Amino acid sequence: MKERNYILLILLHAAIAVLIFLVRPFSVMYAIAIPAVGLYYVIKTQNRNNEVLYVSAYIVGSEVLLRMTGGNLLYESSKYGVMVFLALGMYYSGFSKNAVPYWIYLLLLLPGVIIATETLNMQTDVRKAIAFNISGPACLGIASLYCYNRKIFLSQLNGILLASALPVFATTIYLILYTPDLKEVLVGTGSNNATSGGFGPNQVATLMGLGMFVFLSRLLLESKTKLLFFINIIILFNITYRGLVTFSRGGMITGFIMITVLILYLFIKSKSQGKYNIYRLLIFMMGAFFVTWLYTSNQTGGLIDKRYANQDAAGRVKESKFSGREEIWDSEIADFLDNPVFGIGVAKALEIREEKSGGYIVASHSEISRTLAEHGTMGIIALLIVLFTPIFLFLDNQQHIYLFCFVIFWLLTINHAAMRLAAPAFVYSLSLLKVFIGEEPPLHRE
């Protein structure tokens, strides 16, 4: 991408954030414009260059901004949007006949849905309850069918990642405008809605962590001029800072692990001169992150240090390292042990916890324990398919430098934020792409 076009895209998304902050109804217009423009784009090109991946990535990146500003007409609009566009992509471009694992994966989800129609209470809106819990896994299945062994350039994949990160940058600008003075809203070391745009810190931090990874990758691979390097480092600093001050740890730790894995993989694959350049950049990045942390610590009065040390504002170590999520995990494992073959049915685990707590709704944060409880052994098989398929594909796909990063993002995210966002499903599916660095991939028609 030309430097001028890149700068214009950055400025455009800063302007979008400002407009949404000043004129809240603009968020609805933005939400409508994304699929409308995307549909026109895909139909016009007939998906000749995997345009549906760019549109889907943009939908994924904008999900939190639209949720926090009331733009989405439906809460799960982003997941449905990704599924519709990738289904349209399969209509135009087909899919691999070897994608059998993901047909099996989707079929393994059906028993849990069928059981749910029989086990959910009469007062429960069965359709909404099932749709809320199954939309994430279904999105992963559809996205994986499209991406499985689909051939693509690394430069195109970087463009797809940028499409997901631009709305994250817009979200960062919105957060800066929403919370100009942190010291007025920081009162403890728990996750903070006020620093997260009035929305769920867990979901905000998840996309901040992803955006941090994308802009770091652009520093490594796409900053061909000093100006681009400077722009990307400023954006990276701001995304990292805003992610840290949500005080939600899962998304940020995931982003840091992804960055570590990417740098390690590039170092292993590089020759001597490449290793030297990575050394230099690594030292610079460590210094930059250290400065970011010091700045964040200063702005939060040291509360961020206590948060990551699992302490309260007074410096006392908290009893739970995972904000009480262990109890939910134990509850869902118990449900699995009681119904080990087909599980208790989609959405039933939440209903059981609500009954035991006297009406208090405690949603699961772990997709793994939820899948075990609600899908039983069928769920275990489904998870194993998802985990091991990209690793198996890597044996013949070693130019895919992001593969393990994407799998790690999915695995860690579903353990602290379940699949409330479309991001883990879509980012995971990108690990299945057949990536080429220096040669033109053959046309994908199988």
What are the tens digits of pLDDT across the range 131-166? 888 999 999 999 999 999 999 999 999 999 999 999
**Residue-level pLDDT at 320:** 57
Q: Pick the range with the lowest mean pLDDT from 252-261, 361-370, 371-380.
A: 361-370
CB-CB neighbours of 331 under 10 Å:
17
pLDDT of 324 strictly over 70? no
Amino acid identity, residue 227?
L
Find the mean pLDDT for residues 7-25: 97
**Residue-level pLDDT at 138:** 96
**Residue-level pLDDT at 102:** 97
**Residue-level pLDDT at 427:** 98
Amino acid identity, residue 285?
M
Q: Pick the range with the lowest mean pLDDT from 108-117, 189-198, 245-254.
A: 189-198
Find the mean pLDDT for residues 225-249: 94
Find the mean pLDDT for residues 326-343: 88
Q: What is the pLDDT of residues 63-75, one digit of tens each?
A: 999 999 999 888 8
**Residue-level pLDDT at 261:** 95
Helical H segments across 120-153, by residue range: 126-147
pLDDT of 444 strictly over 60? no
pLDDT of 311 strictly over 60? yes
Helical H segments across 148-187, by residue range: 154-178
Angstrom distance (rounded) from CA 176 to CA 197: 9
Mean pLDDT of the chain: 90
pLDDT of 103 strictly over 90? yes
Q: Which comes out higher in pLDDT, residue 80 or 349?
A: 80
**Residue-level pLDDT at 358:** 61
Q: Pick the range with the lowest mean pLDDT from 13-17, 57-61, 65-69, 344-348.
A: 344-348
Q: Pick the range with the lowest mean pLDDT from 89-93, 360-364, 411-415.
A: 360-364
pLDDT of 445 strictly over 50? no
**Residue-level pLDDT at 139:** 97
3-class secondary-structure state, position 240: helix
Q: How confident is the model at residue 363 (pLDDT cuts 50, 70, 90)?
A: confident
> What is the pTM (predicted TM-score) of this model?
0.94
Taking the CA atoms of residue 139, residue 141, residue 143 and residue 148 in that order, the dihedral angle to the nearest 10 degrees is 170
Find the mean pLDDT for residues 19-29: 96
- pLDDT > 90 in the chain, percent: 67
- Contact at 8 Å (CB) between 151 and 268? no
Angstrom distance (rounded) from CA 55 to CA 143: 13
Q: Pick the range with the lowest mean pLDDT from 182-191, 214-223, 358-367, 368-377.
A: 358-367
- pLDDT > 70 in the chain, percent: 95
Q: How confident is the model at residue 122 (pLDDT cuts 50, 70, 90)?
A: low
Tokens representing residue 77 in the block? 């609009």
Highest mean pLDDT among 225-229, 267-271, 325-329, 410-414: 410-414
Q: Pick the range with the lowest mean pLDDT from 32-41, 180-189, 251-260.
A: 180-189
210: closest CA among 5, 443, 421? 421
Tokens representing residue 406 in the block? 């994407």
